[in-house]
């Protein structure tokens, strides 16, 4: 069994040193595939050096925050590594955010510069034009735009210990609501990169489909950095296109595919309707994360591909992985697996003063080398979720099986209390997903006088033929009366973030208008 020491062994100090791990013979091996072009590990190393020098010429210093307004591309990967060399912080944000959201982040982090991956992202190009950014060029990486220098930017202190030096900051709603900057150190991210590489048995022979946004920590550490750690090749895709993914699986030698459940659901929906062919002759590993995985979807994906669909759980504040199923121990249920090596977990009661009994549901707390440094310029918010002993409150409710596997039953703040009974949305969502024709589901609570109602939203394959009454009968056979939705709303699509996570706060707003 892997231990914390196994993961720490040979761990680089800084992100850019990932490129120094591999032998000279690996120099010509492919590192990044993008739109038919390939960068070898040697070419990527040279591009990172050139980009780092360009950043220095443009006034970037150690301790500066540099915003990367981006979608997945070689330039984004090189920027992360180049800023690591300078001991600057990468503030990675998805280019599909609104101008107002970007401006709020820029002001909060006090960015020295803002880089826009304008050549590969129409949204980034629009933001660059609005900001009056200037074009720059690195031969191997192409064109990009750089915003004006913020002369008022104050550099953060540089730490000699990589466990204390921030590498990347990702803005998230976190565990307490309002957006905040999660400070992730080099040690945080590299611990997850190595752990994911080991647990997925990544090697230099692998070709990893990288469509999960690198602006999200899942795509950053568990996909991008883990692949570089192993010397594997990344096939970078800016946006999820099911037809493009199906083609890549058939023709490009993809060996690992990692995504959110909604991505797999969409693939099956189109395959079932004859709109694409699913063939994956080289695929050896599939993984779903980022949101709950329902058993019917897991079973349907496994039947179609003939491979286990592995599952896991994490959050931005833990870089992100907390647990995952093991490649040599596939599961038939929806457990998110055992905690990763070196991570401690505990489940506390509602008073947070005692652990719950074996098999009982409790609030999940975690501690380990992957837990964030804290929220940027938010001491009180950090103290709300991270105690003096390094324990992070995930805000999720979970139970621990006898074999040490975790089951996530829901967010503590999404718990619905109906007539005095606890309703955990994932359980209801799982029942909804078992009904033929349901592609995606989400359940939220709606306050009513003296009580709370369960409201379900579903995305279905054929809306014109979907029978809501039959669904209600189906649920009545599977759920206790207090768990059954009072309202079932059929939507063309569920609102989702760029990473594919359903935006339940939008659904809660919609539920209040019903």
pLDDT, one tens digit per residue, over 154-207 is 999 999 999 999 999 999 854 444 569 999 999 999 999 999 999 999 999 999
CATH number at residue 299: 3.40.50.12780
* Domain identity same for 339 and 226: yes
Whether this prediction's pTM lies above 0.75 is answered by yes
Range of the domain at 101: 37-158
Domain edge (last residue) among 352, 380, 412: 412
Q: pLDDT digit string (tens) for 351-392?
A: 777 899 989 999 999 999 999 999 999 999 999 999 999 999
Provide CB contacts within 8 A for 266, sequence distance 6+: 240, 242, 439
How many other C-beta atoms can be found within 10 angstroms of the C-beta atom of residue 414?
A: 18
Inside any domain, residue 200: yes
Residue 422: the pLDDT is 75
Say whether both 461 and 436 belong to one domain: yes
Residue 424 located in a structural domain:
yes
Q: What percent of the chain has pLDDT over 70?
A: 98
Which whole-number Å values give the CA distances from 387 to 249, 390, 396, in the listed order?
A: 44, 5, 16
153 is a domain residue: yes
> Which pLDDT score, from 0 to 100, does residue 175 have?
41
Residue 258 has pLDDT above 70, yes or no: yes
Residue 172 domain-assigned?
no
> Same domain for 434 and 311?
no
State residue 228's pLDDT score.
98
Name the DSSP class of 443.
Answer: E
Q: Is residue 1 part of a domain?
A: no
Of 395, 346, 336, which is closest to residue 366 (Cα–Cα)? Answer: 346
pLDDT at 423 over 80: yes
Same domain, 220 and 310: yes
**Statement to judge: residues 285 and 237 lie in one domain:** yes
285 and 386, same domain (yes or no)? yes
For 36, the enclosing helix (H) or strand (E) is none
Asked if residue 436 belongs to a domain, the reply is: yes
- Looking at the 3D structure of the chain, how many domains does it have? 3
pLDDT of 173: 54
Residue 419 has pLDDT above 90, yes or no: no
Between residues 68 and 419, the one the model is more confident about? 68
Cα–Cα distance measured from residue 154 to residue 487, given in angstroms and rounded to the nearest whole number: 52
Q: What is the pLDDT of residue 177?
A: 43
Tokens of 313: 């759980």
Same domain, 440 and 396: no
pLDDT tens digits, one per residue of 76-134: 999 999 999 999 999 999 998 888 889 989 999 999 999 999 999 999 999 999 999 99
Q: Are residues 138 and 199 in the same domain?
A: no
**Whole-angstrom distance, CA of residue 166 vs CA of residue 202:** 26
351 and 467 share a domain?
A: no
| H or E element at residue 131 | helix 122-131
Residues 193 and 333 placed together within one structural domain of the fold = yes
What is the rounded average pLDDT of the residues 220-230? 98
Report for 197-206, 428-437, 501-510: range of highest mean pLDDT: 197-206
Q: Domain for residue 11, yes or no?
A: no
- Between 410 and 211, residue with greater pLDDT: 211
Percent of the chain with pLDDT over 90: 78
- How far apart are the C-alpha atoms of 508 and 485, rounded to whole Å? 14
**Are 249 and 387 in the same domain?**
yes
Band (pLDDT 50/70/90 cuts) for residue 480 is: confident
In a domain, 230, yes or no: yes
Beta bridge partners of 447: 452
Q: Where is the domain boundary, 383, 412, 441? A: 412
Mean pLDDT for all residues in the chain: 93
Residue 304 pLDDT exceeds 90: yes
**What is the mean pLDDT of the segment spanning 287-305?**
90
User: What CATH number does the domain containing 488 carry?
Assistant: 3.30.300.30
Selection from 86, 139, 142, 140 nearest residue 116 by Cα = 142
| Residue 303 burial (10 A CB sphere; 0-12, 13-18, 19+) | exposed
Instruction: Supply the pLDDT for residue 176.
Output: 42
- How confident is the model at residue 398, as a pLDDT? 94
Residue, of 264 and 497, whose pLDDT is higher: 264
| Same domain as 378, residue 246 | yes
How many helices and strands, by DSSP H and E, does the chain display?
Answer: 15, 26
What are the strands, taking DSSP E only, across 237-316?
Answer: 256-259, 285-288, 309-314
Which domain CATH number covers 113? 3.40.50.980
Query: What is the dihedral sign for C-alpha 332, 311, 495, 246?
Result: negative
């Amino acid at each position: 069994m892997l231990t914390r020491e196994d993961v720490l062994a040979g761990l680089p100090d800084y992100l850019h040193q990932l490129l120094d791990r591999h032998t000279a013979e690996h120099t010509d091996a492919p590192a990044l595939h993008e739109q038919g072009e390939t960068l070898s590990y040697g070419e990527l190393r040279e591009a990172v050096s050139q980009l780092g020098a360009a950043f220095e010429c443009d006034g970037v210093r150690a301790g500066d925050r540099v915003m990367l307004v981006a979608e997945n591309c070689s330039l984004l990967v090189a920027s992360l590594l180049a800023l690591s060399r300078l001991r600057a912080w990468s503030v990675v944000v998805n280019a599909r955010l609104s101008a107002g959201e970007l401006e709020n982040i820029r002001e909060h982090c006090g960015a020295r510069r803002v880089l826009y991956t304008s050549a590969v992202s129409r949204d980034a190009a629009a933001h660059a034009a609005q900001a009056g950014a200037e074009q720059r060029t690195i031969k191997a990486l192409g064109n990009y735009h750089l915003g004006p220098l913020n002369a008022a930017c104050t550099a953060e202190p540089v730490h000699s210990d990589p466990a204390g030096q921030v590498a990347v900051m990702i803005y998230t709603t976190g565990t307490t609501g309002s957006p905040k900057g999660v400070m992730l150190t080099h040690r945080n991210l590299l611990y997850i990169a190595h752990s994911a590489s080991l647990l997925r048995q990544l090697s230099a022979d692998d070709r990893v489909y990288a469509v999960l946004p690198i602006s999200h920590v899942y795509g950053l550490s568990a996909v991008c950095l883990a692949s570089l750690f192993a010397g594997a090749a990344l096939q970078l895709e800016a946006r999820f296109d099911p037809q493009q993914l199906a083609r890549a699986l058939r023709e490009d030698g993809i060996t690992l595919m990692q995504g959110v459940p909604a991505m797999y659901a969409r693939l099956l929906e189109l395959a079932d309707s004859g709109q694409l062919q699913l063939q994956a002759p080289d695929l050896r590993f599939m993984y779903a994360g980022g949101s709950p995985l329902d058993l019917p979807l897991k079973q349907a994906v496994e039947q179609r591909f003939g491979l286990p669909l592995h599952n896991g759980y994490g959050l931005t504040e833990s870089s992100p992985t907390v647990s995952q199923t093991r490649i040599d121990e596939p599961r038939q249920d929806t457990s998110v697996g055992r905690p990763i090596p070196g991570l401690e977990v505990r489940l506390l009661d509602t008073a947070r003063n005692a652990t719950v009994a074996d098999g009982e549901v409790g609030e999940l707390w975690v501690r380990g080398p992957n837990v964030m440094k804290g929220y940027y310029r938010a001491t009180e918010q950090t103290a709300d979720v991270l105690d003096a002993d390094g324990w992070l409150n995930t805000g999720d409710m979970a139970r621990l099986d006898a074999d040490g596997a975790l089951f996530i039953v829901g967010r503590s703040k999404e718990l619905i209390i109906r007539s005095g009974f606890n309703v955990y949305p994932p359980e209801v969502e799982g029942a909804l997903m078992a009904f033929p024709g349901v592609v995606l589901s989400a359940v939220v609570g709606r306050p009513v006088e003296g009580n709370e109602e369960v409201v379900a939203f579903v995305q279905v394959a054929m809306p014109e033929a979907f029978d809501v009454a039959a669904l209600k009968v189906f649920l009545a056979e599977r759920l206790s009366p207090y768990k059954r939705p009072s309202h079932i709303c059929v939507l063309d699509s569920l609102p989702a973030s760029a990473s594919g996570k359903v935006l339940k706060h939008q659904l809660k707003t919609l539920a209040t208008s019903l």
